[in-house]
Amino acid sequence: MTSGFSFYSQLKDRIAARTARVSTTGLGYVGLPLALTISEAGFPTLGFDLNTARVEDINAGKQVISYFPEDRIAKAIASGRFGATAESGRLAEADIILICVPTPLSATRDPDMTYVERAAETIAAHLRHGQMVVLESTVWPGATAQVVKPILERGGLRAGVDFFLGFSPEREDPGNHQYGTRDIPKIVGADDRHSRDLLAQFYSCIVTEAVPVSSSATAEAVKLVENSFRTVNIALVNEMKVALDAMGVDVWEVVRAAATKPFGYMPFYPGPGIGGDCIPVSPVYLSWRARDVGSETPLIDLARTTNDTAPDRIAGRVAVELAKNGGTPVKGARVLIMGIAYKKNIEDTRESPALYALNRLEEMGATCDYHDPYFPVMPLTRDHAPLAGRRSVPLTREGVASYDVVLVTTDHSDVDYALVAESARLILDTRNVFNTQDIPVAEGRLVKI
Ligand SMILES: NC(=O)c1ccc[n+]([C@@H]2O[C@H](COP(=O)([O-])OP(=O)(O)OC[C@H]3O[C@@H](n4cnc5c(N)ncnc54)[C@H](O)[C@@H]3O)[C@@H](O)[C@H]2O)c1
């Protein structure tokens, strides 16, 4: 009978030879770049996703993520080392299975682990001796051991003996051309020596550096600490913005100058709030788990409130600035929202503060249109379902001039801000885009909010 040690050494040899077959469960913003990076490192890689349309597009070599080099997917398919499937049975072929499924918030804004549970159940149905399973989705500390492991062990195989299990947080920054998946060190954690060793060996082949930590819970905590750090600092700079504004001081100039300090400071920039799948979500997973074990995270909770209320504050400022500039009441005002993506140059509206601000303004009686080159049509989002299907308006001089106010919520690069500067009656800029791009705006027509 084959022992745990021989499963370990067989997988070790396969990783060293790059013949270990890898499967990523989930081919979204995280799973797809990861799968491509793994195949580019020489491993035969099969992406598995329940979304058959996405699988077909990927297999056809289509550019499903706009900021990828145009031929990246097509090249990977042509290499013969990469493909996608919607057939869960093919997970049995894999030596290494990485889980990259969503971990959003539930309707009660608690951690929603159902995607992870379902993915683990699917893997469990095909689990065999000697496989390695790695959770990459952002979860609370302890989730790999307490949620995923029991599901995988239901069939009788034991983690660390019959199969290997660990956690490695995804640190993808969509649209970041300086740091792609390969350039970002990977934290790897597992609860037994063999799994830890295999994780470290595997990820060292994929990225510049694998950083082992002592347990899966430690690796899970690393991700939450990184994101909570951002949450707190973004809240801090948004608070600074309001206070400095009242003092007549430009927060962006302050941050730019402070960033020249070579130690002890890291710049964060104000904006309309936070969005995406990570920064608004991870701190919730951390504070939820802290409460679960009888602890508290008041600073993080306060930062969340500050960030969550930022879009309301922005909508309130729109009303005030309209009243100041010609006495236009917000009720009945026409507002052009520039950018519905949660950050620049990507096609992602999850938790986007622009949508919360848009909704708030319409509740206040304004009529809002939007312009976003990444979204000709407004996609369906959980909290803003009635907005789905609206269309991005074209950016023309007459069109822009017809709005009472233009509210810049996302600083996409591919937008004609000079046209906006020339035509808009009033611009409220939450991203400092006109100053950053050095675009002149007539006196009194630009307010940074
Ligand atoms: N997007 C980011 O910037 C980012 C960065 C770091 C970490 N993360 C984390 O990575 C994880 C994945 O996020 P994402 O942005 O890639 O999500 P995503 O929504 O872009 O993609 C998830 C994919 O998983 C598929 N899927 C869902 N359930 C499945 C199942 N049971 N089996 C197979 N496929 C399934 C979906 O169809 C979808 O294509 C989350 O935990 C997220 O918090 C995201």
pLDDT tens digits, 186-213: 999 999 999 999 999 999 999 999 999 9
Say if residue 1's pLDDT is above 60: no
User: pLDDT of 225-262, one tens digit each?
Assistant: 999 999 999 999 999 999 999 999 999 999 999 999 99
Q: At 357, list the tokens.
A: 């601000």
Count of CB atoms within 10 A of residue 378's CB?
A: 20
Contact, 448 vs 242, CB < 8 A?
no
CA 430/CA 448 separation, integer angstroms: 6
Identify the residue whose tokens are 């996409």. 412
Q: How far is the centre of ligand 1, averaged over its atoms, from the C-alpha of 349 (Å)?
A: 14
Q: Assign domain 4-214 to a CATH class.
A: alpha beta
CA dihedral 121, 125, 127, 128 (to 10 degrees): 160
Give pLDDT, residue 2.
Answer: 63
Kindly list the protein residues whose Cβ atom lies closer than 6 A to any atom of ligand 1: 25-31, 48-51, 54, 100-103, 115, 118-119, 122, 137-138, 170, 172, 174, 276-278
| Given 100, 205, 278, 368, the catalytic residue | 278
DSSP of 156-173, one letter per residue?
S--BTTTBEEEE------
User: pLDDT of 106-156, one tens digit each?
Assistant: 988 899 999 999 999 999 999 999 999 999 999 999 999 999 999 999 999
Identify which of 151, 179, 225, 277 to mutate to test ligand 1's pocket (most ligand atoms within 8 A of the CB).
Answer: 277
Give pLDDT, residue 39.
Answer: 97
User: pLDDT of 267-281, one tens digit each?
Assistant: 999 999 999 888 989
Identify the residue whose tokens are 């927060």. 251
Contact, 420 vs 397, CB < 8 A?
no
Say if residue 58's pLDDT is above 70: yes
**Helix, strand, or coil here: 369?**
strand
Query: Which residues make Cβ contacts (< 8 Å) with residue 260, sequence separation at least 6?
Result: none
- pLDDT confidence band for 172 (50 / 70 / 90): confident
Mean pLDDT of the chain: 95
Contact, 20 vs 202, CB < 8 A?
yes
**Helix, strand, or coil here: 25?**
strand
- pLDDT confidence band for 285 (50 / 70 / 90): very high
> Which residue has a Cα nearest atom 39 of ligand 1?
28
Q: Do domains 4-214 and 309-449 have the same CATH topology?
A: yes
CA 143/CA 319 separation, integer angstroms: 44
Q: Which atom of ligand 1 is nearest to the CA of 101?
A: 24
Averaged pLDDT for residues 164-174 = 92
CA 109/CA 22 separation, integer angstroms: 33
Q: At 311, list the tokens.
A: 């879009």
Q: Assign domain 309-449 to a CATH class.
A: alpha beta
CA 362/CA 347 separation, integer angstroms: 23
Give pLDDT, residue 177.
Answer: 82
**Helix, strand, or coil here: 98?**
strand
Identify which of 122, 136, 170 to mutate to test ligand 1's pocket (most ligand atoms within 8 A of the CB).
Answer: 170
The structure's pTM equals 0.92
> For residue 138, what are the CA distances in angstroms to 30, 58, 341?
11, 24, 21
Question: What is the phi/psi pair of residue 48, to 5°?
Answer: -115, 130
Q: Give the start-to-end residue ranges of the domains of the chain.
A: 4-214, 224-308, 309-449
Question: What is the phi/psi pair of residue 188, to 5°?
Answer: -130, 130
Strand 427-429 to 446-448 pairing: parallel
Identify which of 36, 49, 342 to mutate to test ligand 1's pocket (most ligand atoms within 8 A of the CB).
Answer: 49
- pLDDT confidence band for 5 (50 / 70 / 90): confident
Q: How far is the centre of ligand 1, averaged over its atoms, from the C-alpha of 49 (Å)?
A: 10
Averaged pLDDT for residues 282-286 = 94
Q: How far is the centre of ligand 1, averaged over its atoms, from the C-alpha of 100 (Å)?
A: 5
Kindly state the percentage of the chain with pLDDT values over 70.
Answer: 99
Q: Which helix (H) or strand (E) element contains residue 210?
A: strand 210-213
Q: How far is the centre of ligand 1, averaged over its atoms, from the C-alpha of 60 (Å)?
A: 21
Contact, 399 vs 393, CB < 8 A?
yes
DSSP state of 414: S
Say if residue 319's pLDDT is above 90: yes
User: pLDDT of 369-408, one tens digit each?
Assistant: 999 999 999 999 888 999 999 999 999 999 999 999 999 9
Fold of domain 224-308: N-(1-d-carboxylethyl)-l-norvaline Dehydrogenase; domain 2 (1.10.1040)
Averaged pLDDT for residues 289-302 = 96
Does residue 278 carry a catalytic annotation? yes
